[in-house]
Amino acid sequence: MVWRRLCGMLLLVTVATEAAAADAPPPNVLLISIDDLNDWTGCLGGHPQAMTPNIDRLAKRGTLFANAHCQSPVCNPSRASMMTGRYPHTSGVYFLNPDLKQAPVLKDLKTLPEAFADQGYLTMGVGKIFHTGDKRFFQQYGGNNGGFGPRPAQKLSQPHGHPLWDWGVYPATNEEMPDWKASAWAAARLGESHDQPFFLAVGFYRPHVPMYAPQEWFDRHPRAAIQLPVVNEKDRDDLSQYAIDLTNREHVSPEHQWVQSAGQWEHAVQSYLASVTFADHCVGRVLDALDASPYKDNTIVVLFSDHGFHLGEKQRWAKRSLWEDGTRVPLIVSAPGFEPGECHRPAELIDVYPTLLDLANLPTDDQQQGQSLVPLMKNPEARWGHPAITSFGPGNYSVRTTRYRYIEYLDGSREFYDHSTDPHEWHNLIDDPGAAEAVTYHAQRVPQKQREVLGQNSTGHKAYAAANSKL
């Protein structure tokens, strides 16, 4: 009898605990990825004509990490790192291949959506979240809907070079754009009733090349009024030949000299701005669907881009650099119960995984190499001893702190920039006696253990080999 009464009491306690948990349902997660978006957003101010009203409104309701950086300035390693919580120098995935499942260090790890699935979440994805093969990682996957999108029979603006490297007005309608379809798919999922918490990831392909978008997005950025990025013609004079080779040789992006002489600089900048505004509009369609849903007040929203992009700065184009233009990314985290804010402490994309575990009250993972950003969401001025580390092949590292950037290359050449006086990183202070102490502090934060390069033959592998061939 006593035993039966005890069982009855235990049952009551269990029921009561479950009822309490049901009162505070676990938060949903909406993860929004934008491919190759640098700091040309309204909220980051990287270009005075950037027009991103939807990203800006998300920034106003969350924490804008205004000093956030990728772990690699290339899609595949950046995303493999973020989605597993391991740095490229830990995994050996430094460049466009191999896939994370081919890397011995990563292949058995739970990726971010899989970690949520393990905890009872419904995981859904659409578009580009991982570099490729997204459907492996989600319970429901809405497809890539044509990836980089439809292309005209003939290139519009750059007749030579890589098939994706082009820009201009194309196609005629928004409905033909894969990002439009992805936003519709995500909006439909947000319009459904789910009986478990969800993790929904939406990956947009623009502004990645080809920088094509319908006419209406170009109309928002008239070419005649386009402002070019500020370029200092003497900028490269204080760089090593290795730094120039690493970031220019064997690349598939156009030479800056060609872009200028062909009269295409304004057009390419316009096309990037138009592509960004289009992608932002697709972000808005998803945010509108969230706001119209019952999930509005119980969903964590994270928006990020996988790396930066040069449009002529340092007289070069595209990604694959360790400079601010190559590493700085938008990163916004909006979560129920947190005050909006702006944080200038260095944040890393690798921090997103542990941050989301923390915000969703899921078990922490000690093997994660990033840090939960929750302390900075509570207090953006909090002390923070974690610089942002970016690599581009073993031996090539950038260390970004609140004020400075330190770069160290495989050949031993180094750079040091003070962002409080030099936001464009024009003046290399590495030999400035006044900077010596700060240089030492940063140099000590360069990773000491690093894996060999995995994979072969991608643009990054080739640029790395070309720079190293002169050593």
Question: Catalytic site residue 131?
Answer: yes
Site membership for Ca ion, residue 426 (CB under 5 A): yes
Integer Cα distance of 202 and 141 in angstroms: 10
Question: Catalytic site residue 75?
Answer: yes
* Size (the chain), residues: 471
Interface mask toward Ca ion for 375-414; x: CB under 5 A: ----------------------------------------
Q: 75-84 and 352-359 helices cross at what angle (nearest 10)?
A: 30
Nearer to Ca ion, 161 or 341 (CB): 161
- Tabulate helix, strand, coil % of the chain (nearest 5): 35, 15, 50
Site membership for Ca ion, residue 238 (CB under 5 A): yes
Could you tell me the CA-to-CA distances from 318 to 308, 311, 324 in Å, in that order? 8, 6, 12
How many CB atoms sit inside 10 A of residue 422's CB?
15
Candidates 141-149, 175-183, 193-201, 238-246; binding stretch for Ca ion (CB under 5 A)? 238-246
Residues 69, 89, 131, 221: which is the catalytic one? 131
Residues 70, 75, 282, 343: which is the catalytic one? 75
CB 134 within 8 A of CB 144: yes
Integer Cα distance of 218 and 233 in angstroms: 29
**Closest alpha carbon to 305 in 284, 283, 323, 329:** 329
Using only C-alpha atoms, the chain has a radius of gyration, in whole angstroms, of 23
Q: Which of 114, 134, 306, 325 binds Ca ion (CB under 5 A)?
A: 306
Site membership for Ca ion, residue 35 (CB under 5 A): yes
Integer Cα distance of 359 and 406 in angstroms: 31
Site membership for Ca ion, residue 148 (CB under 5 A): no
Could you tell me the CA-to-CA distances from 140 to 27, 114, 457 in Å, in that order? 19, 12, 33
Nearer to Ca ion, 189 or 251 (CB): 251
Q: 265-291 and 178-190 helices cross at what angle (nearest 10)?
A: 10
Candidates 19-27, 74-82, 102-110, 167-175; binding stretch for Ca ion (CB under 5 A)? 74-82
Site membership for Ca ion, residue 268 (CB under 5 A): no
**Closest alpha carbon to 38 in 350, 423, 307:** 307
Q: Which of 56, 216, 235, 255 binds Ca ion (CB under 5 A)?
A: 235
In the complex, least distance from residue 36 CB atom to Ca ion, rounded to whole angstroms: 4
In the complex, least distance from residue 321 CB atom to Ca ion, rounded to whole angstroms: 13
In the complex, least distance from residue 343 CB atom to Ca ion, rounded to whole angstroms: 23
Candidates 54-62, 128-136, 274-282, 423-431; binding stretch for Ca ion (CB under 5 A)? 423-431
In the complex, least distance from residue 306 CB atom to Ca ion, rounded to whole angstroms: 4
| φ/ψ of residue 122, rounded to 5 | -85, 125
In the complex, least distance from residue 375 CB atom to Ca ion, rounded to whole angstroms: 29
In the complex, least distance from residue 282 CB atom to Ca ion, rounded to whole angstroms: 16
Residues near Ca ion, by CB under 5 A: 35-36, 75, 235, 238, 306, 426
Active site (catalytic) residues? 75, 131
